[in-house]
Chain A
Amino acid sequence: MHSTVIVGAGPAGMAAAVVLARAGEHPIIVDEAEQPGGQVWRKPAAPLQPALARILGRAAAAEHEQAHAEFASIAASVDHRPRHLAWNLQGGELFVIEHRRIRPLRYGALLLATGATDRLLPVPGWTLPGVFSLGGAQTLLKDQGALIGRRVVFAGASPLLYLAALQYKAMGATVVAVLDTTALPEKLRATPALAAAAPRVLARGLSYMARLRAGGVAIFHGVTALGIEGQDYAERVRFRCSRGAEHDLAVDAVALGFGLRAETQLLDLAGVPLAFDVDFRQWLPIVDGDGRAAPGLYAAGDGCTIGGAAAAAISGRLAAYAILADRGVAVPATEVAMLRARLARLRAFQRALSRAFAWPAHWLADARDDTVLCRCENVTVGVVRAAVAAPLGPREVNRAKALTRCGMGRCQARFCGLATAELMAHALAAPVATMGRHRSQAPVKPIPLDATLVDEDTP
């Protein structure tokens, strides 16, 4: 039995480990990546580290370095297990695989800090080589020192479009355009709320737009009818701008992202109830303000509520204090109160952002039938629509999965699940929350068939 196991060494998991280690604990932190940091604070491989400030900008690089320095300072008290995938959670055991060795971990407290990935909306041509997720485009740069292409369009609904475009430009890519599917008035309407919650973050975001414009990058707001074309890879991006004109841009890569989607699979396997969040338009676990999900089970970071890296780190600290408090350890009340207040502000900021950069779920109402919806199983929009229209057709996503294979593939509906629900809701003229969510099934990611079970204490 280990006292605390943390899944995920991103901002939330790292911050929680720091609090626990300083309280004299020796948490295990299980993480899939080679290096700690998660996606946002991904620590580059050693040869790339000197370039970090160039990629991230000085302010972000400083935050990044501080988080890693803090985590490094407790290295002796933390059992950090990189390249370990937590693939199943049942009966008080976390099943972890490293290479082909599966170990069950028993725990006193389990903190799930599993993060988020991009939320995607299917557009014609999004399965073509050269089209990547927006977060992935950034990760590739930070982690690998590589760009997804030379002539890149950044498209979707996210403030990160602007940041990523700047990073790519700084590293020598031609940013052909930023195609923001949200209209300018929506963003202006959200500005007071954003300014109230986090004025400095807002200012930083606005400066990205200004710097792109100053650098001659075309920015389109209120983009519709987005599609990617090419024979064997992305060659052209077509779209309609807010004035109604059709545009056609030559590219060799596209970064596509519509906000974040929480990784909730392990929480779901643990039986934690999830509720549909109307702002983020996705299913999030029901936890208390400090991340308590069930006795002995805690959640923090974007895998719990979309909040961004700074909020994730704070929620990680709060969850760690909750773990300590639930064990009867005294926790610093003033600090906890301050953290709660800061977390509330940052999360309010994200909520306002989610309205400013709302994902265009209504596009699913008239999405083309031949658009691939489920990338894994290559199921099209038309196939799901036809199933819904058939007698005794599906009325929620799991049934649609059973009947059409949509969401049945390797990614377990991570990249089609929310869009499938929106599509079905439109087809049935029903609220999207009534379309349900895909039930998680182990393994949360594929594991090798020739893996074997080894004893918990075998090194």
Chain B
Amino acid sequence: MMPAKPRLVRVLDRTAASATITIDGDVVQAFAGESVLVAVLAHTTRLRTHEVDGAPRAGFCLMGACQDCWVWLADGHRIRACTTRVVDGMAVLTGPPAGPADA
């Protein structure tokens, strides 16, 4: 599936090391040290869907207060995308990984 057109724009060159991460399995080029939120929203338009109504969400306050941008790592841990830094090899999920319910 083609990701929807991302809206968030990187405007300054990062000379820092690039990092390869996966977002829902898609291999994506990002930068070490940038926020997971930027890495995801420079790739697609949403971070997650809301638990209650399934509507797309993309975070809001961008400073760790609104808690709207919690996503998942493939190991099941949750991270707040706007305050978590990209590390090479990170596997990010925009929905919960398969749990016991799906086993």
Q: Does B45 contact A (CB under 8 A)?
A: yes
Known: A132-B60, A144-B34, A149-B9. 10 other contacts (CB 8 A): A34-B85, A117-B61, A128-B56, A130-B7, A135-B62, A136-B60, A148-B62, A253-B7, A411-B67, A446-B70
Q: How far is the CA of A246 from the CA of B25 in the complex (A)?
A: 44
Interface size on A, residues (CB 8 A): 53
Q: Which residue of A lies closest to B48 (CB)?
A: A129
Q: How far is the CA of A252 from the CA of B9 in the complex (A)?
A: 11
A-B pairs with lowest CB-CB distance, top 8: A136-B62, A145-B12, A129-B58, A410-B67, A378-B52, A117-B65, A133-B61, A411-B67
A136 touches B63 (CB 8 A): yes
- Tell me if A's interface is mostly helix, strand, loop or mixed: loop
A377 touches B52 (CB 8 A): yes
CB-CB under 8 A for A32 and B52, given A133-B61, A133-B62? no
Q: Does A457 contact B (CB under 8 A)?
A: no
Q: Does A98 contact B (CB under 8 A)?
A: no
CB-CB under 8 A for A135 and B63, given A129-B7, A232-B46, A378-B50? yes
A136 touches B15 (CB 8 A): no
B38 touches A146 (CB 8 A): yes
A150: chain B residues at CB < 8 Å are: 7, 9
Q: Which residue of B lies closest to A44 (CB)?
A: B12
- Of residues 90 through 126 on chain A, the ones whose CB sits less than 8 Å from some CB of chain B are 117-118
- Tell me if B's interface is mostly helix, strand, loop or mixed: loop
User: Which residues of B are in contact with A by a Cβ distance under 8 Å?
Assistant: 4, 7-16, 33-35, 38, 41-42, 45-47, 50-53, 55-68, 70, 77-78, 80, 82-83, 85
Can you list 26 A-B pairs with a CB-CB distance of less than 8 A? A45-B16, A117-B61, A118-B61, A128-B56, A130-B7, A130-B45, A132-B59, A132-B62, A136-B59, A136-B60, A136-B61, A139-B62, A140-B38, A146-B42, A147-B8, A148-B8, A171-B12, A233-B45, A375-B60, A378-B50, A411-B66, A414-B66, A445-B64, A445-B67, A446-B67, A448-B78
B66 touches A47 (CB 8 A): no
B11 touches A414 (CB 8 A): no
A71: chain B residues at CB < 8 Å are: none
How far does the Cβ of B13 sit from chain A's closest Cβ, in whole Å?
7
A414: chain B residues at CB < 8 Å are: 65-66
